[in-house]
Amino acid sequence: MGKIQMVDLKGQYLKIKDEVDAGIQNVIDNTAFINGPIVKEFAEHLSQYMGGCYVTPCANGTDALQIALMALELKPGDEVIVPAFTYVASAEVIGLLGLTPVMVDVDYETFNVTVDNIKKALSPKTKAIIPVHLFGQSCDMGPILAFAKEHNLFVIEDNAQAIGAEYTFSDGHRAKTGTMGTIGCTSFFPSKNLGCYGDGGAIFTKDEKLAERIHMIANHGQRVKYHHSVIGCNSRLDSIQAAILDVKLKHLDEYGKARYEAASYYTKQLKAFDPEEKFFITPKELPNSTHVYHQYTLKIKNNKRDELKAYLAEQGIPSMIYYPLPLQEQEAFKPITRAAESLDKSKECAYSVLSLPIHTEMTKDIQDLVINNIKEFYK
Ligand SMILES: *Cc1c(COP(=O)(O)O)cnc(C)c1O
């Protein structure tokens, strides 16, 4: 079976090796390392996949979020609502641009922000909301978008963990996560659901004017070479990464399905073992979103999380804590943040979550080993 890993990028690569290698070699042969034709081709394919929006590839997911905020022309002092339980990047860019992050609590069951929590954070200075589709499932976007519209707020979806997930609105129409808000952002970090072999990211919008502005900002604020109309940055997706992503995009739905099946198996077995949730809580799936399980995350009860993690590690089973501290407890955010309400659920999540190995190459054997060791721990 080999060593169990949180993600198996090698196993995944071996299945598409010929195509990936050819794509990389092609870039080298043409020496079109920066902004080669493959970058544009990949962006077009990704746009089709996302249901037809403007796509600006960029250097990483954090840049994507930063460029999104820059494109919306927010001013220092403007407030941006962000969940307290997320990866730091979602809030970091707000602080970086001199804006004020306003943290809101997440829902204990789904790990995502809800419109009710967002409402409590609204102030006259609120300009934008960054809903994060954490762990691979969409936030309940219908009510969030309606609220944003009512109060004239921009919505920037942090879709770094949920690319490929689909949300169904109450009228039945469906949309890919990352295409519902004003702007959507994603990351192609290697372990993400659509990951390259280095850093990468992309920005989505359906607004043509905004897309132009995003494109310009990612490219030194220039439309015409050496003519800079605004302060921008240098954020590009390498041609080699685009070539790899163009191959992997074709498999993205199949990858999402493999992750979903692995998650379902975990849940079925773990629930059978602990039907009354005495030991842990398995992930909850929203009825109006598909789940692409970027992470399979349990909440461990009775303060046993760290003990269980250590036990599994002794048995050669990795697990990860995404994320050990809620943002309000991070040193960097204390001086700049406004917290609108109690952030207890975010804290509870941070102190109890444990993510199990999940990836596109999971086998029942691997999963049984993980599951049996969890059972063994509770014996
Ligand atoms: C990975 C991630 C990012 C940042 O992406 P990078 O490519 O690593 O910069 C942002 N938000 C979330 C939720 C992420 O998981």
Tell me the best of 6, 90, 134, 327 to mutate to test the pocket of ligand 1, counting ligand atoms within 8 Å of each CB and taking the most: 90
**96 and 186 share one domain:** yes
In order along its 379 residues, the chain shows pLDDT tens digits of 778 999 999 999 999 999 999 999 999 999 999 999 999 999 999 999 999 999 999 999 999 999 999 999 999 999 999 999 999 999 999 999 999 999 999 999 999 999 999 999 999 999 999 999 999 999 999 999 999 999 999 999 999 999 999 999 999 999 999 999 999 999 999 999 999 999 999 999 999 999 999 999 999 999 889 999 999 999 999 999 999 999 999 999 999 999 999 999 999 999 999 999 999 999 999 999 999 999 999 999 999 999 999 999 999 999 999 999 999 999 999 999 887 788 999 999 999 999 999 999 999 999 999 999 999 999 9
In this structure, the residue with its CA closest to atom 5 of ligand 1 is 61
CA of 306 to the centre of ligand 1 (A): 25
- C-beta separation of 98 from 79 below 8 A: no
Q: What is the pLDDT of residue 338?
A: 83
The domain boundary residue, chosen from 187, 222, 249: 249
Q: Is 222 exposed, middle or buried (0-12, 13-18, 19+ CB in 10 A)?
A: middle
> Do residue 72 and residue 132 come from a single domain?
yes
Identify whether residues 139 and 51 lie together within a single domain.
yes
Angle in degrees, 0-180, between the axes of helices 9-30 and 239-249, rounded to the nearest 10: 130
Q: Is residue 3 part of a domain?
A: no
State whether 288 and 270 are in the same domain: yes
How many domains does the structure of the chain reveal?
Answer: 2
Question: Which CATH number belongs to the domain containing residue 39 in this structure?
Answer: 3.40.640.10
* Residue bearing the CA closest to ligand 1, atom 3: 61
Q: What is the distance between the alpha carbons of residues 93 and 332, in angstroms, rounded to a whole number? A: 12
Rounded to the nearest whole angstrom, what is the distance from the C-alpha of residue 240 to the centroid of ligand 1? 20
Residues 80, 216, single domain; the answer is: yes
Ligand 1 pocket, CB under 6 A:
60-62, 86-87, 89-90, 132, 158, 160-161, 187, 189, 199, 201
- Domain-embedded: residue 1: no
Domain boundary among 249, 269, 298: 249
Ligand 1 atom closest to Cα of residue 199: 7
Regarding whether 371 and 306 lie in a shared domain, the answer is yes
Residues 221 and 270 occupy one common structural domain = no
**Long-range Cβ contact pairs of 141-146 (< 8 A, separation 24 or more):** 141/167, 141/169, 141/175, 141/177, 141/180, 141/181, 142/167, 142/169, 142/170, 142/288, 143/114, 143/115, 144/113, 144/114, 144/115, 144/118, 145/180, 145/181, 146/115
Residue 22: count of CB within 10 angstroms of its CB = 11
CA of 88 to the centre of ligand 1 (A): 8
Q: Which residue among 94, 157, 158 is best mutated to probe the pocket of ligand 1, counting the most ligand atoms within 8 A of its Cβ? A: 158
Nearest 10 degrees: CA dihedral of 83, 88, 89, 93?
A: 80
Strand partners, 166: 176
Ligand 1 atom with the shortest distance to the CA of 187: 7
- The Å distance, Cα 282 to ligand 1 centre, comes to 24
CA of 187 to the centre of ligand 1 (A): 6
Instruction: Indicate whether 159 belongs to any domain.
Output: yes
Give dist(CA 236, CA 165) in Å, integer. 25
Question: 274: CA distance to ligand 1 center in Å?
Answer: 33
> Structural domain of residue 285, as residue ranges?
252-378
Domain membership of residue 51 (yes or no) is yes
Q: 295 lies in a domain?
A: yes
Instruction: For residue 57, list its beta bridge partners.
Output: 202
**CA 38 to chain CA mean position, Å:** 24
Yes or no: say if 345 and 108 are a contact pair by the CB < 8 Å rule: yes
Residues 137 and 257 grouped into a single domain? no
Residue 269: its pLDDT value, please?
Answer: 98
Domain boundary among 219, 249, 279: 249
Q: Do 241 and 227 belong together in one domain?
A: yes
Check residue 100 and give left, alpha or beta (phi > 0: left; psi -120 to 50: alpha): beta
Q: Please name which of 24, 151, 184 lies closest in space to residue 79, comparing C-alpha atoms.
A: 151
Both 138 and 283 in one domain: the answer is: no
**Could you tell me if 348 and 276 lie in one domain?**
yes
Residue 79 domain flag: yes
Nearest-5° Cα angle at 281, 288 to 315: 125
CATH number of residue 367's parent domain:
3.90.1150.10
For atom 14 of ligand 1, the residue with the nearest CA is 160
Q: Is residue 4 part of a domain?
A: no
Q: Ligand 1, closest atom to CA 192?
A: 1
The residue whose two tokens read 């770094």 is: 160
Q: Locate the ligand 1 atom nearest the alpha carbon of residue 134 and give its number.
A: 13
Q: How far is the CA of 155 from the centre of ligand 1 (A)?
A: 17
Verify that 207 and 267 share a domain, yes or no.
Answer: no
Which atom, in ligand 1's list, is nearest to the CA of 90?
Answer: 11
SS (H, E, C) the chain: CCCCCCCCHHHHHHHHHHHHHHHHHHHHHHCCCECCHHHHHHHHHHHHHCCCCEEEEECCHHHHHHHHHHHCCCCCCCEEEEECCCCCHHHHHHHHCCCEEEEECCCCCCCCCCHHHHHHHCCCCEEEECCECHHHECCCHHHHHHHHHHCCCEEEEECCCCCCCEEECCCCCEEECCCCCCEEEEECCCCCCCCCCCCCEEEEECCHHHHHHHHHHHECCEEECCEECCCCCECCCEHHHHHHHHHHHCCHHHHHHHHHHHHHHHHHHHHHHCCCCCCEECCCCCCCECECCCCEEEEECCCCHHHHHHHHHHCCCCCECCCCCCHHHCHHHCCCCEECCCCHHHHHHHHHEEEECCCCCCCHHHHHHHHHHHHHHHC
Task: Using the mean position of ligand 1's atoms as its centre, give its distance from the Cα of residue 63 in Å.
Answer: 9
Residue 192 resides in a domain: yes
